[in-house]
Chain A
Amino acid sequence: DAGVIQSPRHEVTEMGQEVTLRCKPISGHDYLFWYRQTMMRGLELLIYFNNNVPIDDSGMPEDRFSAKMPNASFSTLKIQPSEPRDSAVYFCASSSRVSSTDTQYFGPGTRLTVL
């Protein structure tokens, strides 16, 4: 079975440009999570969806960040305008449920560099 798919794997852009990261969760999983990983702050939850509806976006850094999930098999994380401090690895994860014993399956990540 295919795991979580993310694209692109690497993105280099210039400050001020719009960046769109894409994620395809595992089929049948109702929950989708976006995380950001940096050396300074580790792995942080940005937002998560249940059945395509955003449930908790308290981790989204600021209005420059937005996330959508138009259907059960696709989600995007957009940064507009991008800034150098947005440079990080962005992970998408999915799970069939959310509980204390739930397993989240992570994608390979998108490494974003903003110059």
Chain B
Amino acid sequence: TQLLEQSPQFLSIQEGENLTVYCNSSSVFSSLQWYRQEPGEGPVLLVTVVTGGEVKKLKRLTFQFGDARKDSSLHITAAQPGDTGLYLCAGYDYKLSFGAGTTVTVRA
């Protein structure tokens, strides 16, 4: 059983469209991290959110931490083929616990 549930599992969109990935848990975390993983490589950290209700922006990516620090979302505006990858959320509670991931495919 995953501590963190991500949805959807797969997402395929056309270039220029927007998308949102969700990460939910029944547990409270000290922080939540989002990683992107490309085929044949290890995950790379995108952002860390710490405070409940926090919103962080990284160019076209917007990350939000829920008020209760149990859930998070990742929103990509005007997606590009370079955004294709596996997006993983991870909650920190003395160690990282990862969600199963959302595979995002952006078609040109």
Query: Are A43 and B95 touching (Cβ within 8 A)?
Result: no
Interface membership of chain B positions 80-108, coded 1 if the CB is closer than 8 angstroms to chain A and 0 otherwise = 00000000100010111111110000000
Contact-residue size bin, chain A (C-beta under 8 Å from the other chain): 20 to 34
Total A-B residue contacts, Cβ distance less than 8 Å: 46
Quick check: which of A12-20, A66-74, A104-112 contacts chain B, the rest being far away?
A104-112
Query: B31 contacts which chain A residues (CB < 8 A)?
Result: 100-101
Contact-residue size bin, chain B (C-beta under 8 Å from the other chain): 20 to 34
Does B52 make an interface contact (CB < 8 A)? no
Query: Are A93 and B42 touching (Cβ within 8 A)?
Result: yes
Residue pairs across A and B with Cβ atoms less than 8 A apart, 11 shown, are A41-B100, A42-B2, A43-B88, A43-B98, A100-B30, A101-B31, A101-B48, A103-B45, A104-B45, A106-B43, A109-B41
